[in-house]
Amino acid sequence: MSKDYYEILGISRTVAAEEIKKAYRKLAMKYHPDRNPKDKEAEARFKEATEAYEILSDVQKRKIYDTYGHEGLKSSGYQGPGNFEDIFSSFGDIFGDLFGGGMGRRRGRQGPLRGSDLRYDLSISFMEAVHGLSREIEITKRDTCWTCEGSGLRPGYQSQVCSACQGRGQVVRAQGFFQISTTCPQCQGDGEIITEPCNDCDGIGLTSVKKKVSLKIPAGVDTGAQMRLGGAGEGGRKGGATGDLYVVIHVDPHEFFERDGDTIYCQLPISMTDAILGCNPEVPTIHGSKKLKIPKGVQSGEAFTLKNEGVPNLRGHGKGDMIVEVKVVTPIKLTKKQKELLQEFRKEESDKKGDEVGEGFLKKFFHKK
């Protein structure tokens, strides 16, 4: 589904979690299949709203969606909601509020919990982006506790069934004619209580560690490029899978070169005499120096193309070109002899009968009808 999740729920991108829940509750009440039997449109709207709520109510999924959009969710392994039975199980507290606790299955104890995804912003130089590089980075993250293997329990002990909810993870209370099911405040929905927590992780199942990660960044990356390293994120709990690490690239600007896609642009300053007589200078490129033939009489702003002197294409389609723009530099400090030579040159220029420069141009311009 490519429709914007915030648009589906009718909320802004900055709303708090409670507002997301309220918006979803309102739509679920309106489009629930039990209230709209055999209404395919209502069923579709209900599924849309449910998927939007599943993403936006989860802090990590919402962060991935806000940063990378739908493609980021797909890359992180999200496949969308399952059938209605799965939906009711996942959103039992919501449907309990709406329908008195009888719609969804009781959640019970939580199963394996996947680790959170992480983001790392990496700055590299212009030339590193052009040619690619290998780099080792160090990240601080929460990893699965080796002592308790993510269970949060001290080795040799077991958790106890929560006495408040009897292991269901939810408590039901009466309100008028309705029964309202809410998350158990004693076990926070786990359905179990850890009475003997692991000494190394204090019962969390995760410990803070520093990890070194090796990156191989291909030639041709640019600012905004993202690398996904599966299994390099935070550790899982209770046997859950490890999250992923997303590395976002930021490329520093260059003092001489500019880039647009695979094409490199630069300005080449040349002297006035070289512009008049022509020259064959060495031009720096991202791959080394290259001879460039500049014809006599070149004008400032004229551009020349050096084929295959640009950035390697990320998909392996060769290299881009380099565009060199000539910039004629007018001398400011002149010797006496240079001034004399230029004055003589100007005198000869003024004796020409051409009307494209100097007084000839002005006469032609002002007398034009």
For 97-137, how does the pLDDT look when each residue is reduced to its tens digit (9 = 90+)?
Answer: 444 444 433 444 567 889 999 999 999 999 999 999 999 99
**Domain final residue pick, 253, 269, 288:** 253
Residue 114 sits in the same domain as residue 242: yes
The CA distances from residue 261 to 51, 127, 224, 311, 321, in Å, are 36, 14, 12, 8, 10
Instruction: Report yes or no on 179 lying in a domain.
Output: yes
Q: Model pTM greater than 0.85?
A: no
Residue 245 sits in the same domain as residue 307: no
% of the chain beyond a pLDDT of 90 = 40
Instruction: Report yes or no on 220 lying in a domain.
Output: yes
**Domain final residue pick, 232, 253, 274:** 253
Rounded to 5 degrees, φ, ψ at 170 are: -135, 150
DSSP letters, 291-330, are: E--B-TTPPTT-EEEETT-SPBPTTS--B--EEEEEEEEP
Nearest to 185 by CA among 204, 202, 170, 168: 170
Residue 248 sits in the same domain as residue 266: no
Distance CA 307, CA 310 (A): 8
Evaluated on CA atoms 153, 156, 162, 163, the torsion sign reads negative
Residue 24 sits in the same domain as residue 146: no
pLDDT computed for residue 84 by the predictor: 44
Residue 131 sits in the same domain as residue 209: yes
Written as six digits, the tokens of 91 are 């959103």
Do the Cβ atoms of 230 and 158 come closer than 8 Å?
Answer: no
Tokens 């992180």, residue located:
76
Range of the domain at 352: 342-369
Instruction: Report yes or no on 212 lying in a domain.
Output: yes
CATH number at residue 55: 1.10.287.110
Residue 48 sits in the same domain as residue 69: yes
The string of pLDDT tens digits covering residues 265-293 is 999 999 999 999 999 999 999 999 999 99
Instruction: Report yes or no on 337 lying in a domain.
Output: no
- Model confidence at 96, in pLDDT bands (50, 70, 90)? very low
% of the chain beyond a pLDDT of 70 = 82
DSSP H/E element including 197: none
Residue 84 sits in the same domain as residue 165: no
- Model confidence at 359, in pLDDT bands (50, 70, 90)? low
Written as six digits, the tokens of 132 are 């690619």
Instruction: Report yes or no on 137 lying in a domain.
Output: yes
Instruction: Report yes or no on 245 lying in a domain.
Output: yes
Q: Does the pLDDT at position 71 exceed 80?
A: no
Residue 80 sits in the same domain as residue 17: yes
Domain count, the chain: 5
Residue 7 sits in the same domain as residue 66: yes
Instruction: Report yes or no on 207 lying in a domain.
Output: yes
Q: Does the pLDDT at position 46 exceed 80?
A: yes
Residue 128 sits in the same domain as residue 233: yes
Residue 206 sits in the same domain as residue 278: no
CATH number at residue 317: 2.60.260.20
- Model confidence at 234, in pLDDT bands (50, 70, 90)? very high
Residue 246 sits in the same domain as residue 286: no
Q: Does the pLDDT at position 246 exceed 90?
A: yes
